[in-house]
């Protein structure tokens, strides 16, 4: 089957995409964002991005330790030199990616290789910025990456597809499919995951979105979604990306609106007197992307209004269906 034959639909995806677009429009209304406010948000998010992306690959630095390494140059006792360099390298790569962002930007192989070179600088210089030259196997994956001799052609084809598909597919859907296809090609000996999460965010930032940060706590869900995409089903991966993107949008909007306090852990909301829905049900709505919610650590945060609005909408649909029948 041609890899361009893909299914990315899931129940509620159009509504989720619409919610993303509404929040993006609200964020666009703040532009130009005051420099100080923008810098503080970007610093916080880039730190989270580095911490989570490296942690997914096995780096054991905590978020606070990552901050100390990057911002203070402090050496953390008991942590390897490689883990320190991974944090510094990734931060350098984020800076490079942010400098590339523009509406007119077109993806180039040279930029992918440059990002990879930054990801592996100081730790694996002999592989940095170079496609692999032999076969590899990925533990836990349900596929074997293609022969190394095909990598140049596959990457050129993928880059050409991205630059042509920009006007056809929704940019978040396009970036998600790119993300999986890159992982499938597995063009490098090491650093594929960190590199693809940087480049796929470059594609979304080019389209005016903030970065979607895949969380360390979603590592298993992320790998399961990538395996599902190997069967041409992108629905789980897209849902994960949409949830990650919505979280970042919420962070921007709540910071600029000072409305972060409107979001509460689901357990706190359902524990309020006379709240008619249980934690398990509301958590399911959050995981499925059916309500406005985002994840912090292991907890889902939402608003009472998001839950009640969803239920009211569902009841209206039921009533209309009954009246028609």
Enzyme catalytic residues: 186
Q: Report how far residue 201's alpha carbon sits from residue 212's, in angstroms, rounded to the nearest whole number.
A: 7
161-24-282 Cα angle (round to 5): 105
Identify the H or E element spanning 259.
none
Q: Are residues 229 and 180 in contact, defined by beta-carbon separation less than 8 angstroms?
A: yes
Sheet containing 299-302: give its strands across: 264-265, 299-302, 293-296
Query: Is the preceding omega at residue 32 within 30 degrees of 0, hence cis?
Result: yes
Q: Report how far residue 216's alpha carbon sits from residue 213's, in angstroms, rounded to the nearest whole number.
A: 9
How is residue 7 annotated by DSSP? B
Alpha helices in the chain (DSSP H): 13-28, 35-56, 63-67, 81-100, 109-120, 151-165, 171-185, 192-206, 219-229, 235-257, 266-270, 279-287, 304-324
Q: Whose structure tokens read 């499919």?
A: 177
CB atoms within 10 A of CB 26: 14
Query: Token digits for 16?
Result: 């989720």
Residue 71's Cβ-count burial label (10 Å; 0-12, 13-18, 19+) is exposed
Rounded to a whole number of angstroms, the distance between the first and last alpha carbons of the chain is: 41
Q: Report how far residue 139's alpha carbon sits from residue 147's, in angstroms, rounded to the nearest whole number.
A: 17
Residue 175's Cβ-count burial label (10 Å; 0-12, 13-18, 19+) is buried
């Amino acid at each position: 089957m041609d890899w361009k034959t893909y299914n990315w639909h899931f129940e509620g995806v159009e509504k989720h995409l619409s919610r993303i677009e509404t929040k993006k429009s609200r964020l666009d209304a703040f532009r130009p964002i005051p420099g100080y406010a923008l810098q503080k948000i970007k610093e916080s998010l880039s730190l989270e991005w580095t911490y989570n992306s490296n942690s997914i690959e096995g780096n054991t630095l905590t978020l606070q330790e990552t901050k100390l390494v990057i911002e203070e140059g402090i050496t953390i006792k008991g942590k390897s030199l490689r883990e320190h360099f991974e944090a510094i390298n990734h931060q350098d790569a984020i800076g490079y990616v942010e400098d590339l962002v523009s509406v007119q930007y077109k993806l180039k192989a040279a930029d992918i290789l440059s990002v990879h070179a930054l990801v592996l600088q100081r730790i694996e210089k002999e592989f940095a910025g170079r496609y692999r030259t032999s076969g590899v196997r990925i533990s836990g994956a349900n596929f074997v990456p293609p022969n190394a001799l095909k990598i140049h052609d596959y990457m050129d084809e993928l880059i050409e597809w991205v630059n042509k598909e920009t006007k056809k597919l929704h940019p978040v859907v396009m970036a998600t499919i790119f993300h999986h296809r890159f992982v499938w090609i597995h063009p490098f000996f090491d650093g594929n995951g960190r590199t693809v999460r940087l480049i796929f965010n470059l594609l979304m930032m080019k389209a005016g979105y903030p970065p979607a940060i895949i969380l360390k706590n979603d590592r298993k869900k992320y790998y399961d979604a990538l395996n599902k995409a190997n069967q041409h089903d992108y629905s789980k991966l897209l849902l994960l990306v949409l949830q990650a993107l919505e979280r970042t949008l919420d962070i921007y909007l709540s910071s600029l609106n000072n409305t972060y306090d409107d979001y509460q852990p689901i357990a706190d909301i359902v524990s309020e007197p006379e709240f008619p829905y249980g934690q398990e049900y509301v958590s399911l709505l959050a995981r499925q992307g059916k309500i406005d919610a985002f994840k912090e650590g292991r907890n889902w945060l939402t608003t009472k209004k998001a839950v009640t609005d969803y239920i009211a909408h569902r009841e209206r649909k039921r009533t209309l269906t009954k009246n028609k029948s």
